[in-house]
Amino acid sequence: MDAGNPCRHDGDLRFIIMIRIAVAQLKSVSDKQENLQKALGLIEKAKTKNADVIAFPEFLMAFSPGEESAAQLAKRAETLDGPFVSALKQAAKASRIATLATLYETCAIPERVYDTAVWIDGDGTLAAVYRKLHLYDAFGFKESDKFRPGADIAAPAPCAEARCGMMICYDLRFPEMARMLALGGAEILLAPSGWVQGDMKLDHWQTMIKARALENGCYVIAPDQTGNIYIGHSLVVDPFGRIVVDMGDGEGLEIVDLDLGIVAEAREKLPLLKNRRAEVYAKHFLGR
């Protein structure tokens, strides 16, 4: 985070507050140790770029092919204090970089795992945990055959001067979740993903991310898997719905400086959060 000199914007004095995020796009393999080593290397690389945060895609721990059984996937899973997360915590602390990572988390339900995102502070503290709420039972897939859905939304995690809300992949298709995170104070939504290839899927991906950013006046950072069955095209979209970064279909690390002043500007010019009519919505049992 860099608090620079004040500058003029629309006649008002404001301070530029920047957060530097490293977005990792990678192709996970079935060997979780190989993926871990790749992740640790990327954290080191992000350190050399003076990043405040590094964000990894969904399924960082391992690629699970369709023929892998629920029992086999459950054997891959680890607890939050297992070696996978522990190594990431050590790396985050050593590099002083907040880290958003994902894993298959052990679940008490037999032959089921959680699809979990963890937020690790730059001091190595496991600060927030989010278990994917909406399982991808769509387009011929049925994640509920192997996964257990989470039960709640994680409160936005503090990062420098911002608050970051966590979503995972299919969650992007549910605008209620993004809105609740924004109302909870999130200026940045982070959505690690494994967006599956298919007809119109790239269009869906871009449209969903732009919509979530625009309707909530926030940044959306969506690191995606590439290769295997996934589309790549990790995106960074600003609060006005503009694509800042599209990483294409190759592996890599993209460094992006986010200006929180643009969040304030978007929410002032287009005050969608303030203009909501929650008292009317409540009459229609929106949660049914």
Q: 258-274: string of b/e by CB count within 10 Å (b at 16+)?
A: bbbebbbbbbeeeeeee
Q: Which of 32, 58, 105, 187 is catalytic?
A: 58
**Cα dist from 264 to 28, 210, 233, 237, 239, whole Å:** 36, 17, 27, 15, 9
Q: 128 with 118: CB under 8 angstroms?
A: yes
Residue 111 annotated as catalytic: no
Residue 164 annotated as catalytic: no
Residue 58 annotated as catalytic: yes
Q: Which of 38, 89, 132, 210 is catalytic?
A: 132
In whole angstroms, what is the distance from residue 127 CA to residue 113 CA? 21
Three-state secondary structure call for residue 209 = helix
In whole angstroms, what is the distance from residue 126 CA to residue 145 CA? 29
Stretch (H or E) spanning 53: strand 53-55
Residue carrying structure tokens 């299919």? 170
Three-state secondary structure call for residue 210 = helix
For residue 122 the two structure tokens come to 């730059």
Q: 56 with 223: CB under 8 angstroms?
A: yes
As to burial, measured by CB atoms within 10 angstroms (0-12 exposed, 13-18 middle, 19+ buried), residue 158 is middle
Say which residues have a Cβ less than 8 Å from residue 174's Cβ, sequence separation at least 6.
133, 134
Nearest to 223 by CA among 25, 73, 71: 25
Q: Which of 159, 164, 169, 218 is catalytic?
A: 169
Write out the catalytic residue numbers: 58, 132, 169
